[in-house]
Structure 1
Amino acid sequence: MTAALAVERRLPASVLTILTIRCSESVVAAEPASAPLEIKDTLMLPESSGRAKRYSEIEKTAALKAYETKIAFGLTSTDAARKVSVPRKTLERWLDERKRHQEQTEASNGTRLIETSIATLAAPGRFNPEAVRSALFAFVAWLRWPGEVRNLAAYVLLLHCGYLVQKYGVSRLQELPESEKKAIQNDIDISLIFDLFLGKVVFPFHMDYEHEYYTRRDKNAEICSFFTNARHNSIDSSIGKAFHIVENNGFSKDFEMGEKAFRAFWRSNAAVMPFDYVELYHFPTLDLGLDPEEPDFYEKIDDLLQRLPEIAEYLAGCKWAVREFRSSLDPRALTSIWSPGFPLHLLPRELPRVKLPGKLFEALSRPRVIA
């Protein structure tokens, strides 16, 4: 058997065109037919193999920067991709991936800020006054804009600036007392200001204190009251039943809302429902629903800072309410909502049960109309 014939039986023809086999005919003939053939040459894939090019993270970042710059100078996405030498669909996929990653990072930072603010307000004596006030700004901002967790840092800056402008009547940082300069520097993020100018962070269009905001908080409190107290009123709670109550005007304040809108409302507000419930039902004098556009906003903040022990008691009640609220939900419903963690040193405070109104039972007794 010749060396060429032995190699042909072990290797495909496409590989034979690349490899150079150096083997004497006598050695091949002396070896058994089943003996493995030792090949020392390196197998290299040809450039025309059709495999997609793999890009490093540095290459991706550079390509996206060049791509966005060329588009900013007026090129179409197709022409910009051609200049960058990367397929347009690949660049668009990278942009989507970057956006999702950025949103996840911002949301993670927002949830961490909420939990830090709760821990600070639950034990204010362990922190300096400036840190406690910043924590209060973060907590109030979250209660006001619960569906915008990833923009929470921007809203904290908004509340802080509104507070300082109202309290000191100034418009420049240099005019503030030294202690206030240091305090707001902790909330100022240069990249955040840059995003504000670029329009990447958008504040809600409406900040109507009386109509929009309190109506939403009333809804949150009543929906949470249903879930938290349903079992003690011999009711099996569910999101579907909550919508059935809304649909049949079973809450004390009627509000029209279709099922699709209700589920969107649920996703945006479920996290703060126990907090609104505890405040409006059990701590009604503790006004945390603050509007930075109100002329007495800074006075209300200062008043809350004088009532920190009461806020700590309120948070202890919230810890209990969150546990009760989540235990009343179906496991599938829990996957769509997030609830903040509480510090271990904060013991839950059980609150009195609320008797559900007869109007709610009447709404549940009506048959569900399926369109």
Structure 2
Amino acid sequence: MVPKRHSLAEQDRIIARFEEARSLDVRPAEAIAGLGASLASVYRWQRARNPSKGMPAATFAQELSIDTAIARLCDERNDDRHTFLDALFKFIAWLRWPTTPGDHPAAMMVCAVSYLSAGRSARTLNELPPDALALALRHVSIDTLKRICSDDLFAMPSFELWKLDDQPYTKLDYLAQVTHFILAYCPPSADPRDAASLSKAYAAMDSGLFKYKWSISRRTFSTFWKESAASAPFHYVERLHPGLEFSLDPSKNDFAENIDEAYSRRGELRRHLARCRAAIELLQNKLDRRSLEVIRFPRFPLSLSAEVIEPPELPKITDAIRAKFRKWRN
């Protein structure tokens, strides 16, 4: 059966009735009965409206900003494995949820537990080697465990990436292509109206300029960009100037291997971040002030210089696409 797609108004009605029942101490499984939606869907809708509400508090090791995490990853003097892994887990979580930091503590705990469980025979925490146990205790909190063992499990962030329109790509691939268009677009004239813009990017994507397609409205595209733009240059660099992989899913068998590779190749990691800095600076030069006002890019340490990148040329832009540029002109 195809799941029913609820309108925003229907979602609001279901959420209101669910929250009313919960305020009367009705269990979640009972509160959702008869409302025409699953418990997971209601939690997902709630998080879309207030992403950080009810999420677990950060442990001491998780109380770092993305700026601090990037600075640690770039620090050639940092030989402390635990603080490096803390920063790496933060970076991985931020790449998925750049505008919802309330999701990061639980996501970082998932990263830590998945990393520690790979290739180990330990069944309990006290069976872990001392160094591994110390890392676990930096990220496992009683609050998070309590939620995992209750119906609040469905409110936890999920790293799973859904394929777009049953094609072999995800939102992150699409986001990288949007960034590629903006960075590589060459205006036909000096007229500001011909400059690169989000409107042109939407028109190009909607016209099928790239192989990755996603049939969404312009409003949905704008919302998606606002939620994801801060990490967009990072996804672009990962896919078009590849080195290390960071769009990781802790449930995959190679997660721990990728983490160990990032730690052992810290010089390559710094180079990757230097390319990301270059992509951000190029994007800032391409977009107008209004478009940039809604984006909070990470700050890089002064010690990390940008490494120049050359965006690949765009596919041929047809007259039909140019006509859409005029239609969607800012």
**TM-score using structure 2 length:** 0.72
Query: How far did 1:369 drift?
Result: 5.8
Change (3 A) 1:245 1:73: closer
Aligned to 2:42: none
Aligned to 1:140: 92
Aligned to 2:296: 338
Is residue 122–residue 312 contact of structure 1 (8 Å, CA) maintained in 2? yes
Distance 2:204 2:100 in 1: 27
1:133-160 residue CA offsets vs partner (Å, 9 max, x unmatched): 2211221222234454321111010011
Aligned to 2:15: none
Aligned to 2:31: none
Is residue 252–residue 359 contact of structure 1 (8 Å, CA) maintained in 2? no
Distance 2:63 2:138 in 1: 18
Distance 1:360 1:134 in 2: 47
Change (3 A) 1:265 1:121: same
Distance 1:237 1:353 in 2: 14
Distance 1:101 1:287 in 2: 27
Give the aligned residue type for 1:269: S
Change (3 A) 1:315 1:101: closer
- Asked whether 1:199 is paired with 2:152, we answer yes
Query: How far did 1:255 drift?
Result: 2.3
- Asked whether 1:216 is paired with 2:171, we answer yes
Is residue 115–residue 341 contact of structure 1 (8 Å, CA) maintained in 2? yes
Q: Secondary structure at the match of 1:126?
A: coil
Is residue 112–residue 135 contact of structure 2 (8 Å, CA) maintained in 1? no
Aligned to 1:275: 234
Aligned to 1:25: none
Q: Secondary structure at the match of 2:119?
A: helix
Aligned runs of 1:254-273 on 2, under 5 Å? 254-273=213-232
Q: Secondary structure at the match of 2:305?
A: coil
Change (3 A) 1:192 1:344: farther
The correspondence for 1:328, drawn from 281, 286, 291, is 286
Change (3 A) 1:256 1:174: same
1:222-270 residue CA offsets vs partner (Å, 9 max, x unmatched): 1111222335776511111111112211223222221122112112211
Give the aligned residue type for 1:126: N
Aligned to 2:253: 295
Is residue 111–residue 149 contact of structure 1 (8 Å, CA) maintained in 2? no
Change (3 A) 1:213 1:333: farther
Aligned to 1:24: none
Aligned to 1:51: none
Aligned to 2:313: 355
Change (3 A) 1:159 1:202: same
Distance 1:111 1:268 in 2: 22
Change (3 A) 1:209 1:154: farther
Aligned to 1:230: 185
Change (3 A) 1:305 1:353: same
Distance 2:72 2:122 in 1: 28
Give the aligned residue type for 1:152: H
1:100-150 residue CA offsets vs partner (Å, 9 max, x unmatched): 99799x89x989532222111112432401211221122122223445432
Aligned runs of 1:151-166 on 2, under 5 Å? 151-166=103-118
Tell me which moved more, 298-307 or 339-348. 298-307
Q: Secondary structure at the match of 1:325?
A: helix
Query: How far did 1:194 drift?
Result: 4.4
Distance 2:224 2:308 in 1: 27
1:70-114 residue CA offsets vs partner (Å, 9 max, x unmatched): 95568xxxxxxxxxxxxxxxxxxxxxxxx899799x89x989532
Distance 1:335 1:291 in 2: 31
Change (3 A) 1:344 1:369: closer
1:5-44 residue CA offsets vs partner (Å, 9 max, x unmatched): xxxxxxxxxxxxxxxxxxxxxxxxxxxxxxxxxxxxxxxx
Distance 1:332 1:111 in 2: 31
Give the aligned residue type for 2:202: F
Is residue 224–residue 277 contact of structure 1 (8 Å, CA) maintained in 2? yes
Distance 2:229 2:168 in 1: 15
Q: Secondary structure at the match of 2:170?
A: helix
Distance 2:325 2:187 in 1: 23
Query: How far did 1:330 drift?
Result: 2.2
Which structure has the bigger radius of gyration? 1
Count of residues in Structure 1 that have an aligned counterpart in Structure 2? 276
Is residue 250–residue 361 contact of structure 1 (8 Å, CA) maintained in 2? no
Change (3 A) 1:330 1:346: same
Distance 1:242 1:205 in 2: 27
- Asked whether 1:173 is paired with 2:125, we answer yes
**TM-score using structure 1 length:** 0.64
Distance 1:363 1:343 in 2: 40
- Structure 2, unaligned stretches of length 5 or more? 1-19, 27-49
The correspondence for 1:184, drawn from 111, 120, 136, is 136
Is residue 222–residue 277 contact of structure 1 (8 Å, CA) maintained in 2? yes
Aligned to 1:43: none
Give the aligned residue type for 2:221: F
